Amino acid sequence: MGKKILIIDDDPDVVSYLKDVFEAEGFTTFTAVNGVEGLEKAQVHRPDLITLDMDMPARGGTLFYVKLRQEPSLAEIPVIVISGVGPRPPAIAKNVPVLSKPVDPKKTLKLVSEMIGA
pLDDT in tens, 46-104: 999 999 998 877 778 889 999 999 999 999 999 999 987 666 777 788 889 989 888 89
| Angle in degrees, 0-180, between the axes of helices 61-70 and 35-45, rounded to the nearest 10 | 30
Predicted TM-score (pTM) of this structure: 0.93
Identify the pLDDT of residue 22: 97
Q: Rounded to an integer, what is the distance from CA 44 to the centroid of its chain?
A: 15
Q: Which residues pair with 7 in a beta bridge?
A: 31, 51
Average pLDDT, whole number, for the chain?
Answer: 91
What is the CATH class of 4-116? alpha beta
More confidently predicted of 111 and 93: 111
For residue 1, pLDDT beyond 80: no
